[in-house]
């Protein structure tokens, strides 16, 4: 499991009617583990659920604070509602060390596309690049209305293309993506529909130049679903995973206690070691290298008839 910190909520304010900003600091004023733009932390909410939130300020080696923004989602599983309703200045939250699956890679030009709360990692990335200098930066920030736009004043003054669909309709992204450019990297974060549109419109680009992060997570029972067998290595127990049940829930039904939180492939809490067999990776957490010997059982399945899994090292 990632290393944990216990941080005090030093500030809280509302950026919009639905988006709250939280400033987290060490209770003794110590510097925090460093991070780069695109990183996130996983917060244990007062409800007990763990949720991953991007760090919205540019990173550094030893920052004095972490800043996250949380959009209230009444239709979610309660994590964001708990953050909005139950967290106040002075409270202490358990927070993991930063992790980064959306890291900046070198390029001469960057095109950022943010949809709604997807601005959070991109704000940190853009800030880092501007401080570094030397690269061309273009940012498209898409929201429903000005009233629902976090950091509206900041991005109204810096050359960002701000687009509000309630008054201007859907933005045509094709003129921005029509011509592939190996000197450009695209970073897109936002709702699933935006991610899918950007991926479709960049099918003629080199895949290595297009980077996306989807806050909505993954449907555990979407796509190809076939039954398979999971072997729990510590005991040798064989557990059947039917087509209509996730690996995580099948393990739990078999008496295997596996920690989990988001159950959408985004927080990394349920990570297991993959000892044998071929996994059908569907998560948004593991890197290409990590997928060789790890699996996220909340959303991922098996391509082979059988896989063997075990807890990660303590």
Q: What is the CATH number of the domain that holds 260?
A: 3.10.20.30
Q: Are residues 126 and 47 in the same domain?
A: no
Q: Is the pLDDT of residue 12 over 50?
A: yes
Indicate whether 103 belongs to any domain. no
Q: pLDDT for 189-223, tens place per residue?
A: 998 899 999 999 999 999 999 999 876 666 666 66
CA distance 32 to 293: 30
Q: Which of 162, 180, 214 is the last residue of a domain?
A: 214
Q: Which of 51-60, 108-117, 284-293, 295-304 has the lowest mean pLDDT?
A: 284-293
Whole-number pLDDT of residue 223? 64
Give the count of domains, the chain. Answer: 3
| Degrees to nearest 5, angle at CA 96 with 117 and 313 | 130
State the chain's mean pLDDT as an integer: 92
Q: Are residues 62 and 131 in the same domain?
A: no
Q: Which of 96, 128, 154 is the last residue of a domain?
A: 96
Q: Are residues 146 and 235 in the same domain?
A: no
Q: What CATH number is attached to the domain comprising 147?
A: 3.40.50.80
Q: What is the mean pLDDT of residues 71-94?
A: 91
Q: Are residues 177 and 239 in the same domain?
A: no
Indicate whether 124 belongs to any domain. yes
Q: Are residues 201 and 232 in the same domain?
A: no
Whole-number pLDDT of residue 105? 94
Indicate whether 39 belongs to any domain. yes
Q: Are residues 34 and 66 in the same domain?
A: yes
Whole-number pLDDT of residue 66? 98
CB atoms within 10 A of CB 268: 25
Q: Is the pLDDT of residue 51 over 90?
A: no
Q: Are 237 and 256 in contact, with CB atoms under 8 Å apart?
A: yes
Indicate whether 220 belongs to any domain. no
Q: Are residues 306 and 255 in the same domain?
A: yes
Q: Which of 53, 74, 96 is the last residue of a domain?
A: 96
Q: What is the mean pLDDT of residues 170-194?
A: 95
Indicate whether 42 belongs to any domain. yes
Domain extent, residue 162, equals 109-214
Q: Are residues 207 and 303 in the same domain?
A: no
Q: Are residues 202 and 252 in the same domain?
A: no
pLDDT band of residue 1 (cuts 50, 70, 90) is: very low
Q: pLDDT for 242-293, tens place per residue?
A: 999 999 999 999 999 998 877 888 778 899 999 999 999 988 788 778 999 9
Indicate whether 222 belongs to any domain. no
């Amino acid at each position: 499991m990632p290393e944990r910190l216990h941080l005090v909520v030093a500030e809280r304010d509302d950026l919009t009617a639905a988006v709250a900003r939280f400033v987290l600091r060490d209770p003794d004023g110590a510097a925090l583990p460093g991070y780069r733009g695109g990183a996130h932390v996983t917060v244990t909410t007062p409800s007990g659920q763990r949720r991953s939130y991007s760090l919205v300020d540019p990173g550094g080696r030893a920052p004095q604070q972490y800043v996250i923004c949380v959009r209230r989602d009444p239709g979610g599983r309660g994590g964001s509602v708990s953050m909005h309703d139950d967290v106040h200045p002075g409270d202490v939250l358990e927070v993991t060390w930063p992790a980064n699956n959306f890291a900046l890679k070198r390029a001469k030009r960057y095109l950022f596309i943010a949809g709604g709360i997807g601005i959070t990692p991109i704000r940190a990335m853009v800030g880092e690049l501007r401080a570094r200098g030397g690269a061309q930066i273009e940012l498209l920030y898409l929201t429903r209305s000005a009233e629902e736009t976090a950091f509206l004043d900041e991005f109204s003054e810096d050359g960002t293309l701000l687009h509000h669909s309630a008054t201007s309709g859907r933005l045509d992204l094709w003129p921005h993506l029509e011509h592939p450019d190996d000197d450009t990297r695209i970073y897109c974060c936002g709702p699933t529909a935006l991610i899918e549109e950007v991926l479709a419109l960049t099918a003629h680009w080199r895949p290595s130049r297009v980077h996306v992060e989807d806050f909505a997570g993954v449907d555990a029972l979407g796509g190809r679903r076939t039954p398979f067998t999971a072997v729990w290595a510590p005991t040798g127990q064989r557990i059947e995973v039917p087509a209509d049940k996730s690996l995580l829930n099948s393990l739990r039904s078999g008496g295997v206690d596996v920690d989990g939180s988001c159950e959408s492939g985004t927080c990394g809490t349920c990570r297991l070691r993959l000892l044998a067999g071929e996994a059908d990776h569907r998560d948004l957490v593991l890197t290409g290298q990590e997928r060789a010997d790890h699996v996220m059982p909340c959303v991922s399945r098996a391509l082979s008839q059988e896989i063997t899994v075990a807890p990660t090292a303590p």
